[in-house]
């Protein structure tokens, strides 16, 4: 594909700005005027509508995706001395919440194509201490859930990237013991902050309800029946999320078109390869991630990121392997190498993607990648 035009941007292209408009502003204003600043009817409605959307019996709204994962693990009884098998290609929160429970994260290497956990390697990591498995749906591609389900352990799925995803005909949110979503500002449904736990298990739902906020009785009397946290979602944020949920299908169409522009525009660039998308599944199209092969692309990922920044194109990295970060590296010096994850950590680069972007914005990013590639491979 030839370069679309030679002109360069005059202003920075944001990486993943939220698509927020007058509808979200009106919803916040209405909520403020209602007097409900904390958890109230908007949060309850969000739970009801999200449960219908992901085809789960229960959805619990909490303060963040991190809180969702933490409470889900506790609800499944994960505690001191336990082990939870998870992926190293994720935001550190996935491993941090395992530590918060007193358990140890056991990192399993990933598949080269989509960077999801390599399910063929999980059985060799199972010990008598294994309490749960915590896979991650990277960029919106569901992990291979069936082999994990066959192992018989509780599953807490980190689906921060995967609200719209469908795995082999089943909605993500309807399969695992607990599926955790994020409402963070960059997510496909962006409330600024917030998280959701979807589950079909009554016991898990009840445990999270009890833990996310001290249970209250009538009048001034209240009681606490289990370990408690301050993890309830405010109605102001729920109001934003409800409007975003109304727009989810339209936004998905926009992101699908943007993915297509990237696929076409980058297809002939040696050493620039997008993550694979399984045609059997519905991908949430949350991130457009490429891998930069330094030998074929003429320079490494960091050089590409720097060069794109000079072209006024913002990018991000999803992700640096968690087990290589200082705290985890020092805490677990016996961690064996995870070659696929470590190689990916040197190569992955996420390009701008948002319903707030125009097609021309995405084509500007494509043109910039092509110019940088031409310079590095000359």
Active site residues per annotation:
187
- DSSP summary character for residue 322: G
DSSP calls for 227-292: -----BPPHHHHHHHHHHHHTHHHHHHHHHHHHHHHHHHHTT-TTEEEPP--TTSB-----EEEEE
Neighbour count for residue 371 (Cβ, 10 Å):
16
Residue 377 dihedral angles phi and psi, to the nearest 5°:
-100, 5
CA–CA gap between residue 85 and residue 312 (Å, rounded): 39
- Burial 198-215, CB ≥16 within 10 A → b, else e: bbbbeebbebbbbbbbee
Residue 81 dihedral angles phi and psi, to the nearest 5°:
85, -10
Cα separations (Å) of 364 from 71, 81, 272, 291, 314? Answer: 42, 51, 17, 19, 11
């Amino acid at each position: 594909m030839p370069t679309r035009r030679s002109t360069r941007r005059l202003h920075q292209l944001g990486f993943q700005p939220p698509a927020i408009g007058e509808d979200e502003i009106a919803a916040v204003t209405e909520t403020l005027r209602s007097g409900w600043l904390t958890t109230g009817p908007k949060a309850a409605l969000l739970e009801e509508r999200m449960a219908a959307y992901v085809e789960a019996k229960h959805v619990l709204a909490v303060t963040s995706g991190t809180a969702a994962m933490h409470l889900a693990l506790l609800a499944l009884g994960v505690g001191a001395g336990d082990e939870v098998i998870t992926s190293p290609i994720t935001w550190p929160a996935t491993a941090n919440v395992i530590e918060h429970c007193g358990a140890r994260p056991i990192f399993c290497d990933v598949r080269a194509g989509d960077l999801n956990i390599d399910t063929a390697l999980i059985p060799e990591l199972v010990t008598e201490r294994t309490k749960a498995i915590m896979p991650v749906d990277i960029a919106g591609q569901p992990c291979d859930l069936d082999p994990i389900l066959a192992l018989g352990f509780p599953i807490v799925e980190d689906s921060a990237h995967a609200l719209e995803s469908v795995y082999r005909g089943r909605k993500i949110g309807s399969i695992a013991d607990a599926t955790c979503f994020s409402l963070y500002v960059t997510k496909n449904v962006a409330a600024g902050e917030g998280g959701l736990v979807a589950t079909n298990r009554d016991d898990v739902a009840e445990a999270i309800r009890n833990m996310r906020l001290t249970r209250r009785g009538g009048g001034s009397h209240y009681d606490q029946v289990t370990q408690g946290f301050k993890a309830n979602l405010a109605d102001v944020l729920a109001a934003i999320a409800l409007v975003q949920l109304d727009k989810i299908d339209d936004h998905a169409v926009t992101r699908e078109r943007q993915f297509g522009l990237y696929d076409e525009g980058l297809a002939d660039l040696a050493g620039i390869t997008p993550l694979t998308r399984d045609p059997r599944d519905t991908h949430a199209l949350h991130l457009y991630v490429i891998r930069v092969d330094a030998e074929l692309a003429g320079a490494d990922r960091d050089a590409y990121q720097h060069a794109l920044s000079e072209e006024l194109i913002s990018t991000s990295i999803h992700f640096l392997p968690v087990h290589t970060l200082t705290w985890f590296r020092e805490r677990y010096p016996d961690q064996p190498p995870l070659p696929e994850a470590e190689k990916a950590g040197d190569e992955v680069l996420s390009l701008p993607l948002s319903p707030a972007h125009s097609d021309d914005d995405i084509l500007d990013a494509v043109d910039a990648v092509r110019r940088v590639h031409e310079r590095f491979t000359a």
